[in-house]
Structure 1
Amino acid sequence: MALFDAVRWSTRTLISGSCRPTVIGLENVPKDGPYIVAPNHLSFFDSVIVQALMPRPVAFFAKAEYFTTGGIKGRVMKSFFESVGSIPVERGEQAASVQALKTLLDILEAGKGIGIYPEGTRSRDGILYRGRTGVGWLALTTGAPVVPVGLIGTENLQPAGEKGFKPQHFTMKVGEPLYFEKTGPDHSLPARRQVTDRIMDAIAELSGQDRSTSYNQSKAAE
């Protein structure tokens, strides 16, 4: 736990000092118990930002190669992602797959926080895409509150076609938690869709993005 806290503090200090972000609404994060963070997704760094700036730990998925790459760089990446509570997931495995959702479910049932991007993959054109219903499934199955997050300007931290981290001001808006009746795993697809759409409406209000009625696709899918 000491290493975990030290890494989060160091990352928060680095981000705050280099980017001078505007962070609004941290008081909306539940002080205890399970909770689901649902942000829009614009940048590779979004998960790191949310994990560092939230007042409580948040577990996000991270590509498995971040944990298995060799050499000094690989060891540093593995240490970092393990320290901030990231969960390795194989490339090509959808974040909304059954096994992935069960992993998140276990964390919620332990009373901890998880993060999930309803869009599935980051938006490369700045548009907010239709939400996939995994977040709705988690909310209805567990009854955990969903905290919508709007990230604004994080795409500038790593412009398209560039590598590395480019310090830029960004904004993170944390909305009021959304509560849904706990139904357990026995609920309908229309119920998951209704919950997911409500979450996406809250994210859109925070981020101010234009919206699409279609799903976002990763480069690999294209």
Structure 2
Amino acid sequence: MFRPRVEGAENIPGTGPVILAGNHLTFIDSMILPLVCDRAVYFIGKDEYVTGKGLKGRLMAWFFTGVGMIPVDRDGGRGGVAALMTGRRILDDGKVFGIYPEGTRSPDGRLYRGRTGIARLTLMTGAPVVPFAMIGTDKLQPGGKGLPRPGKVTVRFGEAMEFSRYDGMDRDRYVLRAVTDSVMTEVMQLSGQEYVDIYATKAKAA
């Protein structure tokens, strides 16, 4: 249906832990990413995706569980910690963890400032980061709502990034920001998006 064109998939290591970090344009990004990777991809999603009632709720729970989503209650002060620890557990098991450093979908198609959870994960686990870009998914599902329309999508993976030079510095906020910004720079170059140096949540609130 989406006819995804995949570029750079060979950059994903065949074994061992790896973090896939990319932009987030619309809801179907999380459907397409697992489909274009040879390895199983695990990612975090809202727990409401698997707790719905009735037939629709059961179908959603079946689908998201099947594509590797791990439900986490991200509301409240401990939501971020739970998400971080879930990602660490996945990587410690030698699996592939997918993450959107922006923390939410882009409100206007531009690329927003990344949150430093991505940096903490790579520094805590030593897992390399493979940046990726979703291109065209926002045209298939504008606003992230409604049924997606058929069309062409490109998923572009960049070269793996490793940050062993910062070993033991996962609590240094300047290092965390530098690592996060370097990942977002690669995502920007892969996607061709305009970069905005504020958080997407702040842009949505405004």
Choose which of 150, 155, 166 in structure 1 pairs with 2:133: 150
* Matched letter for residue 97 of structure 2: I
Q: Is the 8 A contact 2:27 2:144 kept in 1?
A: no
Structure 2 residue aligned with 1:113: 96
Structure 2 residue aligned with 1:64: 47
Q: CA deviation at 1:92?
A: 3.1
Cα–Cα, structure 1 residues 207 and 131, in superposed 2: closer, same or farther, change >3 Å?
same
* Matched letter for residue 174 of structure 1: F
Other structure's SS at 2:184 match? helix
Aligned length: 205
- After TM superposition, list the pairs within 5 Å mapping 1:171-186 onto structure 2: 171-181=154-164, 183-184=167-168, 186=170
Structure 1 residue aligned with 2:176: 192
Matched, 1:170 2:184: no
Cα–Cα, structure 1 residues 96 and 37, in superposed 2: closer, same or farther, change >3 Å?
farther
* Matched letter for residue 135 of structure 1: I
Q: Is the 8 A contact 1:158 1:165 kept in 2?
A: yes
Structure 2 residue aligned with 1:46: 29
Matched, 1:206 2:190: yes
Structure 2 residue aligned with 1:101: 84
Please list every run of at least 4 consecutive aligned residues from structure 1 whose deviation after the TM superposition is greater than 4 angstroms. 93-96, 218-222
Q: CA deviation at 1:221?
A: 5.2
Q: Is the 8 A contact 2:21 2:101 kept in 1?
A: yes
Could you tell me the TM-score, scaled by structure 1's length? Answer: 0.86
Q: Is the 8 A contact 1:95 1:120 kept in 2?
A: no
RMSD: 2.1
Identity, % of aligned positions = 48
**1:60-104 deviation digits (Å, cap 9, x = unpaired):** 112211111111111111111111110112253589811210111
Q: Is the 8 A contact 1:118 1:132 kept in 2?
A: yes
- After TM superposition, list the pairs within 5 Å mapping 1:67-82 onto structure 2: 67-82=50-65
Name whichever structure is richer in strand by fraction.
Answer: 2
Q: Is the 8 A contact 1:96 1:134 kept in 2?
A: no
Choose which of 186, 199, 202 in structure 2 pairs with 1:215: 199
Other structure's SS at 2:124 match? helix
Cα–Cα, structure 1 residues 158 and 179, in superposed 2: closer, same or farther, change >3 Å?
same
Shifted more, 183-192 versus 48-57: the winner is 183-192
For structure 2, the residue ranges without an aligned partner over 5 or more in a row are: none
* Matched letter for residue 188 of structure 1: D
Q: CA deviation at 1:19?
A: 2.0
